[in-house]
Amino acid sequence: MSREITTVVLAERPKTVVVPGETFRVEKVAAPTEADLKDGQLLLETLYVSLDPAMRGWLSTERSYIPPVAIGAIMRAGAICRVLATRSAKAAVGDIVTSFSGWTEVAVAEEATVNNLFAALPAEARSQLSMTDLMGTLGMTGLTAYFGLDKIAGPFKPTDTVVVSGAAGATGSIVAQIAKLKGAKRVIGIAGSEEKVRWLEDDLKLDVGLNYKDPDFAKKLRDAVPDFIDVYWDNVGGEILDLALSLAAPHSRYVMCGGISQYNSGNVQGPKNILKVVTQRIKLQGFIVMDYATEYERALKDLAQWLLEGKLKRSETILTGGLEVADRALLDLFEGKNKGKLLLEVKNPKDEAARL
């Protein structure tokens, strides 16, 4: 008798917020085995899945950069996996790899969708880095920060004032640190609690941390940018983006990465200060990190080096409970309960590999 595994599929499209127990459905299915593999495929066991704001957009049928997750399909997600079997030269049995295999305990993956970065790193680097870095600083999170700054915000000038919204989140925290590394004069981070503000200032060494829930937030942001904003990284949209537009310096660069405050809204709020783009000659540009896939090697080399040198600090929030709590974990992301990268542990990597 074949072993059963847990998968989580999309049951219905949410109108606003993800509803635990309704939006997704937990299913028990027969596990794929080595016998199911074709040439160029790998059998992967999921250790961690990444929880990212973009996942809410993947549930929508609105036109986007990627097709939506189909009803009844396994929820799409980045994952850190262990190779159980392989018919590919991409990785060996036991290797730790990443893939977009989604919310499933075991998956068959095409070699083109598998990244074996850990094996490519020198042994010394592997010993100093965590496998969870593969979904954080060395994953889509870090790459997004790197290329948004490199392609849109840069090159930095020594007079630049940078403001990062969602600065205590996975991407925002890396953005803020790289901006300092790249020579910005001042970096201001916006977060959603006093604890996160202290972390931004004390641990990440930002010049100013601000709590957007503070009744005096708007005044404090104005006071923090007396020469206005040269670079703004937008992770949240909504009222904070509007305020940032009102404080734009001439010829400023606004990196449009996300709008987490709007993803679950039934009435998306557009910017009221859009004419500032004209009067201040703002470069306001969106991007998708996959646009720069041919340049990942360069970025990963820099990111890994900065981590090893201690120039980049990372923070992770790792939830437990397996895929049965994945929907609740995704909701935690939108409620701002994480600091840094949010991951869900599906299986303890110290446990013995599955036998299928």
- Residue 3 clears pLDDT 60, i.e. is over it: yes
CATH number of the domain that 212 lies in? 3.40.50.720
User: What are 41-100's pLDDT values in tens digits?
Assistant: 999 999 999 999 999 999 999 899 999 999 999 999 999 999 999 999 999 999 999 999
In a domain, 49, yes or no: yes
Q: Is the same domain home to 96 and 194?
A: no
Domain-embedded: residue 198:
yes
Structural domain includes residue 271? yes
Count of domains in the chain?
2
Among residues 178, 116, 168, which one has the least CA distance to residue 146?
178
104-to-35, 43, 322 alpha-carbon distances in Å:
18, 12, 10
pLDDT at 267 over 80: no
Specify the amino acid at residue 103: W
Cβ proximity of 80 and 121 under 8 Å: no
Q: Are residues 262 and 184 in the same domain?
A: yes
**pLDDT at res. 260:** 78
88-136 pLDDT per residue, tens = 999 999 999 999 999 999 999 999 999 998 887 777 788 889 999 999 9
Summarize pLDDT for 172-200 with one digit per residue, the tens.
999 999 999 999 999 999 999 999 999 99
Q: Are 150 and 243 found together in one domain?
A: yes
Q: Domain range spanning residue 24? A: 4-121+316-345
Round the average pLDDT of the chain to a whole number and report it: 94
User: Checking DSSP bridges between strand 161-164 and strand 186-191, what pairing results, if any?
Assistant: parallel
HSE-CB for 211 with a 13 A CA cutoff: 12
Confidence of residue 266 (pLDDT cuts 50, 70, 90): low
Tally of CB atoms within 10 A around 154: 18
Q: Give the residue-averaged pLDDT of 138-162.
A: 96
What CATH number did the domain enclosing 79 receive?
3.90.180.10
User: In Å, how far are 180, 206, 209 from 199, measured between CA atoms?
Assistant: 16, 9, 9
Asked if 35 and 115 sit in the same domain, the reply is: yes
Q: How would DSSP label each residue in 113-176?
A: GEE-HHHHS-HHHHHHS-GGGGTTTTSHHHHHHHHHIIIIIPSP-TT-EEEETTTTBHHHHHHH
CA atoms within 13 A on the CB side of 335: 10
36, pLDDT greater than 80 = yes
Residue 79 to residues 109, 118, 203, 316, Cα–Cα distance (Å): 11, 14, 28, 15
Structure confidence at residue 98 (pLDDT): 97
Say yes or no: 209 and 245 in one domain: yes
- Whether 134 maps to a domain, the answer reads no
> H or E stretch including 209?
strand 208-211
Q: Report, as an integer, the average pLDDT of 199-227.
A: 98
Rounded to 10 deg, the angle between the 140-148 and 296-308 helix axes is 100
**Higher pLDDT among residues 317 and 119, named by residue:** 317
- Assigned domain for 309 exists: no
Q: What is the DSSP letter of 294?
A: G
Q: Which of 1, 91, 10 is nearest to 45 (CA)?
A: 91
Are 332 and 213 found together in one domain?
A: no
Q: ω before 155 within 30° of 0 (cis)?
A: yes
**What per-residue confidence (pLDDT) applies to 185?**
97
- Cα–Cα distance for residue pair 163/232, rounded to 1 Å: 5
C-alpha distances (whole Å) from 352 to each of 82, 86, 91, 94, 135 are: 11, 18, 19, 11, 22
- Residue 344 contacts residue 208 (beta carbons within 8 Å): no
Can you tell me which residue has the tokens 């974990």? Answer: 329
- Asked whether residue 129 is domain-assigned, the answer is no
Q: CA–CA separation, 324 vs 7, rounded Å?
A: 9
Are residues 176 and 227 located together in one domain of the fold?
Answer: yes
Is 130 a member of any domain? no
Of 121, 123, 114, nearest in space to 41 by CA:
114
